[in-house]
Amino acid sequence: MKLNEQLTKIKQTPIWDVIVIGGGASGLGTALDAASRGYKTILVEAVDFAKGTSSRSTKLVHGGVRYLEQGDISLVREALKERGLMAQNASHLVKNQSFVIPNYNWWGGYFYTLGLTIYDLLAGKLSLGKSKYISKKKTIELLPTIEQKGLVSGVIYQDGQFDDSRLAINIAQTAVEKGACLLNYTKVVALHKDDKNQVTGVQVKNQETGELFDLKGKAIINATGVFTNAIMKLNDTVYKKYIVPSQGIHLVFDKSFLPSDHALMIPKTSDGRVLFAVPWHNKIVVGTTDTLIKNHSLEPIALETEIEFVLETAQRFLAKKPTRADVLSVYAGLRPLAAPKEPGKSTKEVSRSHKIIVSDTGLITITGGKWTTYRKIAEDIIDKAIRVRNLPKKICKTEHIAIHGNKTTNDKDRENHLYIYGTDITKIVEIQNQEPELKEKLHPDYDYTMAEVAWAIRNEMARTIDDVLARRVRLLFLDARAAIASCEKVAQLLAKELGHNEAWVQNQITEFKALANGFLLSEFKK
């Protein structure tokens, strides 16, 4: 996946069947679905692929135990099917993860065992394993640092865990392999309409060069997540709010706070939310919150109230009490929830299922949804485009399309940090062998090498330090201080590979350090 090849495609195609605006999970999935059916497809992303919500998840591929409790059986069944398909199609990035629910009352074990047995049954032949009641002794054995005071029993169940932005990049690569044109740092600045007020294309701006392109298309898909309302402003004559952003935050800690291969799940916190502590890249990710917010941005910042909530809840359930000084990174993500019809609804009442809106202009917009169901969302979008934009009817093929890098990966394979590259591992090793200077570590405390940075620039369209350290190599999410310490050498390699000067390097370093400060608690900002 190389930028110069994608820019050549854009100039060779006079009219597209499908134009996708937005390079997050839904947009990338839609581009793959459309291209694999044989439609001429282009996707444009204003910044980097998965820069927003799609790189800031809880790293779970799940049916949604919470939605089962709310009685949304159809949503759970759909998500469980998609969980199984993700595990098959991207097995290098999606793994079967054991979760333990500790119970501090006598009835909890029986209640959650019953509910999770239903969860297993809904998964059918794509089930990841059987849920079961476990004793207090077994719960402590599986979660050595669980708070033992008042502990009665536990329940163990299986769900999925993954690397979100790595999957996004691999979906992008798969879409390109199927013939799609994908461009990051390409922003939609206008919608073109005909004399019947039907949308016929978009004008986009290359954010790096300032060059403008006019793209003509039959079906225009708005998959911009929390920025949906901004595209709708270009489309509508009367402004209406289509999505409400909800913020979720996560704190990242050293593995010593939960030295286990099992994840911790608290089904009901003090304010009724779900909290997870999940092993991820040899760290523990703890979250999440659910806070409706008025303003959204590309770099959402965790609120102090959210940080304190997650810390206090983690301290309540872990014997080794994490403090603010133990936080390696804090990240905030925004969920693009479909706006409720009645104002003032809480986020727990706003639907998590996706919703497709067809405007009078013919613009097709997707709201809601979640990572686990990205493939089904994309299928529904293209099926809708076939009906309302008169595309020739072609059947969806993505249920059994292997995602770029897909290879069977077991726990032993995951001991090598390169496992996330799947079938591309040998190519990273080849770079190290051919260019020995790129064997250098990014940071002395981590195994990531400069060869991975080179790979990201040459084959994954990384253009900035942020692209590399946040979404190709996940160091910013794992340890913000280490990412800041590594940024200069990344900037130098970017400049060498992309032909930038020293002024660009210094500007990149300044911008990245300001951005990375948002991943540090206030008292540790640099």
pLDDT of residue 29: 98
> CA–CA separation, 433 vs 454, rounded Å?
13
pLDDT of residue 154: 94
3-state secondary structure 277-318: EEEECCEEEEECCCEECCCCCCCCCCCHHHHHHHHHHHHHHE
pLDDT of residue 403: 98
Task: Read off the DSSP letter of residue 401.
Answer: P
Q: Which residues in 443-459 are b (16+ Cβ under 10 Å) and which e?
A: beebebbbbbbbbbbeb
* Fold held by 3-53+166-242+345-400: FAD/NAD(P)-binding domain (3.50.50)
pLDDT of residue 308: 94
Single-letter residue type at 289: T
Question: What angle is formed at CA 318 by the lines to CA 317 and CA 319, rounded to 5 degrees?
Answer: 125
pLDDT of residue 347: 47
pLDDT of residue 60: 93
H/E segment holding residue 276: strand 275-280
Of the CATH numbers 3.40.50.720, 2.40.50.140, 3.30.9.10, 3.30.365.10, which one belongs to the domain with range 94-161+244-338?
3.30.9.10
pLDDT of residue 484: 97
Q: What is the pLDDT of residues 145-166, one digit of tens each?
A: 999 999 999 999 999 999 999 9
User: Which residues touch 106 (CB under 8 Å, ≥6 apart)?
Assistant: 152
Question: What DSSP string runs through 412-430?
Answer: TGGGSGGGGGGGGHHHHHH
Q: Identify the residue whose tokens are 């536990």.
A: 154
pLDDT of residue 288: 84
Q: Among candidates 280, 260, 249, 258, which has minimal Cα distance to 479?
A: 280
- Report pTM: 0.95
Q: What is the pLDDT of residues 47-79, one digit of tens each?
A: 999 999 899 999 999 877 777 766 678 788 888
Single-letter residue type at 140: I
| Domain residue extents for the chain | 3-53+166-242+345-400, 94-161+244-338, 418-524
User: Judging by beta carbons within 10 Å of its beta carbon (0-12, 13-18, 19+), is residue 222 exposed, middle or buried?
Assistant: buried
CA-CA distances (angstroms) from residue 6 to 2, 21, 22, 507?
7, 16, 16, 26
Domain 3-53+166-242+345-400 identical in fold to domain 94-161+244-338: no
Low-confidence spans in the chain with pLDDT less than 50: 347-349
Q: Crossing angle for the helix pair 164-177 and 25-36, nearest 10 degrees? A: 20
